[in-house]
Amino acid sequence: MAIRRIIKYAVLIILALFFLTPIYVMLITSVKPLSEVSLSEMWSLPSAIDFSSYSEAFTQLAPNMMNSLYLVIPATLLSAILGAMNGYVLSKWRFKGSEVIFTMILFGMFIPYQSILIPLIQFLNSINLYNSLGGLIFTHVVYGLPITTLMFRNFYANIPESMIEAAKVDGASFVKIFRLIILPLSITGFVVVAIWQFTNIWNEFLFAVTITNNNTQPVMVALQNLSGSQIVQWNVQMAGALLAALPTLLVYIFLGKYFVRGLLAGSVKG
Amino acid sequence: MKLTKDQLMAALFLAPSLLLIAIFVYGFIGWTGWVSVSNWNSLMPDMSFAGLKNYLYLFGDYRFQAGIRNTIFFTVLFILSVIVLGLSLAILLDQTKKGNAVFRNIFLFPMALSFVVTGVVWQWLLHPSTGFNRFLQVFGIQPKWYTDTNILAGFQWGSIEFGLPVAIIAVVIAAVWQMTGFSLAMYVAGLTGIDEELREAARIDGATEFQIYRKVILPMLTPITMSVIIIMAHISLKIFDLIYAMTGSGANFVTDVPGVYMFETTFRGNYYANGAAIAMIMLILVAVFIVPYLIHSRRGTS
């Protein structure tokens, strides 16, 4: 039995090392001085820690990180609030056809966004929101609705029906029940949804690359430009990748439990 | 029927979202469908009716056929690997209780990263002259990874050689690294949900650990496997960012996919009608998986 246990742990440790390899390479490369960045020395540790690639990557990416921040905060908040409203109606005030409506909303979560991209750009262009952060915020709110609605609906389904019934008997209205019973119980729900939306919108690329231009690009588009450029050194690319990934990595490290709950909620059944 | 004030408020809560979904999902899909049968293949919109011309063009197009081939092989390899690796890890973690929160976190963290970050890092790790090849050269192996233009077991099909494009394996490795956490989390949740008494009962009946997994636990995880297949299939059928950031369409389109083709032909080449047709084909491919799944799983919960 002891040998079996050792083998099991050995397999786990080897796989864990494999999973951490990209982080190792990103970290050591990003602190290497330019003279040590070469194809043959990818795996070797730097002789001295040099943060110059971070300052260069930061100079290039900082404006875009700010764009991402201005994008993510309103888009997350708005899509979460709308999702909570929908989830409340679709779980506690079901009506004839509400299941069909819910399924039709959910479909929007799975479509390839290429299939709405051309009309979307024509539309944003016609209301002067093309090439703007406002247009991208609007886009993420709309196409975030299915997942936020799903998460809140499943979350509210766990609130006992008897609580709602009792409040109704006491004469509480639809809005009052939402405000006084549902919302105070929604804090975990909001945390899960907010973390999920924050991560997804921060990491999103297709909408970002088609809807924004130089001044309004979020960080992932800027990172892609940085890595696609022939003149940018490899250590700067790695520093840039780490910087761009840092916000969502930090969220995962500190609030991973909620992130995993969001991940599981995305598989429709709840 | 007269609406009560509560029902009216409920309708008002739902109305903005329903309106947005109706226009921006269903309306825009219809609009894209219309563009896909138009003659709009230049900067100036031209919505005159073209019939199925754009679709017929694509079916005969080398790049589109290559993209479909790559998508098929990518999807199959990706889903298989994610399931086998995720399930194996979940079972290993199920058996080694000590320290498994640490391991779980290590296998899950790539899920929090962007496909763009993954692409940037893995294009270096699987670079033919550095990365993992530095170790492999000790054994005398030097795979060309995503720069390999060979098609394995290929035969002529349409205008392309149909077979496994070797270059796609590099992209599969990066995608598996990123997405295994999803199937792992699903299987871990599934295993936690299985009653310990059930295993105990099987043990008393004289079943070995291996038999318990094969005969009792695996069948109970089938619905989870179905969900993982569907979710991974829709991600892989519409994949764009990972390929765009890691390899691009590649020499001879060995790593091209419809998502990248659609983006480039529409927004770099201004072939809007062709791009719309690609998008509609992608939508149909995804819908074939998703619609039955949605109907099935909704029926189960209501």
The count of domains in chain B is 1
- What Å distances lie between residue B239 and A200, B9, B120, B259, CA to CA? 15, 40, 16, 6
Residue A29 has pLDDT above 70, yes or no: yes
CATH of the domain at B111: 1.10.3720.10
Contacts of B20 in chain A (CB under 8 A): 142, 145
- What Å distances lie between residue B281 and A50, B274, B278, CA to CA? 49, 11, 5
Partner-chain contact B117 A206, CB within 8 Å: no
Reported as a single tens digit per residue, the pLDDT across A168-204 is 999 999 999 999 999 999 999 999 999 999 999 999 9
At residue A231, the pLDDT reads 72
Partner-chain contact B107 A19, CB within 8 Å: yes
Cβ atoms of A116 and B24 within 8 Å: the answer is yes
Partner-chain contact A8 B114, CB within 8 Å: no
User: Does residue B8 lie in a domain region?
Assistant: no
Partner-chain contact B279 A223, CB within 8 Å: no
User: Does residue B174 lie in a domain region?
Assistant: yes
User: Does residue B94 lie in a domain region?
Assistant: yes
Mean pLDDT throughout A5-26? 94
User: Does residue B243 lie in a domain region?
Assistant: yes
The mean of the pLDDT values for chain A is 93
For B151, phi and psi rounded to 5 degrees? -115, 120
- pLDDT class for B302, splitting at 50, 70, 90? very low
At residue B3, the pLDDT reads 73
User: Does residue B10 lie in a domain region?
Assistant: no
Say if the ipTM goes beyond 0.90.
yes
Chain B nearest-CA residue for A257: B105
At residue B150, the pLDDT reads 87
User: Does residue B181 lie in a domain region?
Assistant: yes
Reported as a single tens digit per residue, the pLDDT across B185-238 is 999 999 988 888 888 888 888 888 888 888 889 999 999 999 999 999 999 999
At residue B200, the pLDDT reads 87
Query: What domain range includes position B158?
Result: 16-301
User: Does residue B6 lie in a domain region?
Assistant: no
Partner-chain contact A103 B103, CB within 8 Å: no
Q: Nearest to residue B39, comparing CAs of B27, B48, B52? A: B48
Reported as a single tens digit per residue, the pLDDT across B115-165 is 999 999 999 999 988 889 888 888 988 889 998 888 888 888 888 889 999
Q: How far is B162 from chain A (nearest CA, A)?
A: 25
Residue B2 has pLDDT above 70, yes or no: no
Chain A nearest-CA residue for B279: A115
Q: How far is B269 from chain A (nearest CA, A)?
A: 13
- pLDDT class for B301, splitting at 50, 70, 90? low
User: Does residue B260 lie in a domain region?
Assistant: yes
Contacts of A174 in chain B (CB under 8 A): 5-7, 9-10
- pLDDT class for A270, splitting at 50, 70, 90? very low
Residue A238 has pLDDT above 80, yes or no: yes
Return all residues near A234 (Cβ < 8 A) that are at least 6 apart.
A29, A37, B124
Mean pLDDT throughout B18-43? 97
Q: List, in order of start, the domains of chain A with CATH numbers.
A: 1-50 (no CATH), 52-265 (1.10.3720.10)
